[in-house]
Copies of this chain bind each other. A is one copy, B any other.
Amino acid sequence: MTRTTDPSCEQAFADWMHAIQRRTETALDHALPAVGIAPARLHEAMRYATLGAGKRVRALLAHAAGELVGAQPEALDLIACALECIHAYSLVHDDMPCMDNDTLRRGKPTVHIQYDEATALLVGDALQTQAFELLARPGLGVPDARRLAMVTLLAQASGSRGMAGGQAMDLANVGRRISRAELEVMHLHKTGALIRAAVLLGADAGAQPLPAAQREQLDVFSKRAGLLFQVVDDILDDTASTTTLGKTAGKDAMNDKPTYVSLLGLTDARRLADELLLDARTALAALGEAAHRLGQVLDFIACRSH
């Protein structure tokens, strides 16, 4: 897998990425209820689940897409926080004993280990609510009708026909031999829907909406980028160490869950990642130079080590 950027661009991108990660952390810190507010233990656990780690891929995508439309960074912060709250909630619930029963996440004990199962359940529930509260909050600087459409977009991406539906498909697939098409449908829901929402919500945050044809291109890009993210995840799950990942490596194989690597083998999974990267780049090319930041985030998704 080759990157299109030269080393100086890579440094500039790394600086930008760290800046977005830092400002997302700060924005989440402000958005989440303080520990001093009752119920203190719940708020402490919500912050534990959300702050202090994470690549913030969804925040990076929202900010990069926002650059396309000249969106205000403060508006993108709110969107990024909403996305990261949904993502964090899904991880907390996914790690619970009745789901993946995992003990390590982002290099720390999972919420039900650090606190308890009931708290983990409520943390996930309350983080989901927090996401919608943030997205409906005044201050995005976009017309109300578009803000309502953004709430709808986030809900559709997160619900039973989006991320939660993907989790249900994932559960149903345990121990089954499924086709590549079925695996793709599952991942387009489980991780793809929220990654698509990150891109589209960022692009919806401008004062003016993106022309329909460009939004369509962005939609194609976001779906390819979402699948790429998952294929790379499966490759890393197979090849990287638990320490590098900050979560239990090899977990999917252990749980008898189908992955791109188990289905295609490592070589073909890598080939698929290359194809998806190329498809996503092609979709971006039609958007011109303004999409160059999205291209860098795409490269990061393709080449990340954890």
Asked if B99 and A168 sit within 8 Å, CB to CB, the answer is no
Q: Is A177 an interface residue (CB 8 A)?
A: no
Q: Is A54 an interface residue (CB 8 A)?
A: no
Q: Is A151 an interface residue (CB 8 A)?
A: yes
List residues of chain B with CB within 8 A of the CB of A33.
160-161
List residues of chain B with CB within 8 A of the CB of A116.
98
Contact with B along A54-96 (1 / 0, CB 8 A): 0000000000000000000000000000000000010001001
Asked if B126 and A125 sit within 8 Å, CB to CB, the answer is no
The residue from B93, B137, B159, B168 contacting A119, defined by CB atoms under 8 A apart: B168
List residues of chain B with CB within 8 A of the CB of A129.
128, 155, 158-160, 162, 164
Q: Is A250 an interface residue (CB 8 A)?
A: no
Tell me the minimal C-beta distance from A33 to chain B in angstroms.
6
The 4 closest A-B pairs by CB, nearest first: A129-B159, A98-B117, A144-B144, A133-B155
Asked if B125 and A137 sit within 8 Å, CB to CB, the answer is no
Q: Is A290 an interface residue (CB 8 A)?
A: no
Q: Is A165 an interface residue (CB 8 A)?
A: yes
Q: Who on chain B is nearest to A43 by CB? A: B160
| Interface residue total, chain A, C-beta cutoff 8 A | 55
Known A46-B160, A136-B155, A144-B144; contact A39-B128, beta-carbon cutoff 8 A: no
Asked if B172 and A41 sit within 8 Å, CB to CB, the answer is yes
Asked if B46 and A126 sit within 8 Å, CB to CB, the answer is no
List residues of chain B with CB within 8 A of the CB of A169.
38-39
List residues of chain B with CB within 8 A of the CB of A43.
160
Asked if A168 and B42 sit within 8 Å, CB to CB, the answer is yes
Known A122-B167, A147-B148, A168-B122; contact A160-B96, beta-carbon cutoff 8 A: no
List residues of chain B with CB within 8 A of the CB of A137.
152
Known A98-B121, A126-B165, A165-B42; contact A159-B133, beta-carbon cutoff 8 A: yes
Asked if B121 and A165 sit within 8 Å, CB to CB, the answer is no
Q: Is A212 an interface residue (CB 8 A)?
A: no
List residues of chain B with CB within 8 A of the CB of A260.
none
In this complex, the member of A33, A116, A118 whose beta carbon has the largest number of chain B beta carbons within 10 angstroms is A118
Asked if B96 and A121 sit within 8 Å, CB to CB, the answer is yes
Q: Is A226 an interface residue (CB 8 A)?
A: no
Contact with B along A10-44 (1 / 0, CB 8 A): 00000000000000000000000100011101110
Q: Is A53 an interface residue (CB 8 A)?
A: no
List residues of chain B with CB within 8 A of the CB of A9.
none
Q: Is A103 an interface residue (CB 8 A)?
A: no
List residues of chain B with CB within 8 A of the CB of A156.
133
List 12 interface pairs A-B (beta carbons < 8 Å), by A numbering: A33-B160, A39-B172, A42-B160, A89-B125, A93-B122, A98-B116, A121-B121, A122-B160, A128-B129, A129-B159, A132-B154, A147-B148
Given contacts A126-B160, A129-B159, 10 further A-B contacts (CB under 8 A): A33-B160, A118-B171, A121-B121, A122-B160, A128-B129, A130-B159, A133-B152, A136-B152, A148-B148, A148-B151
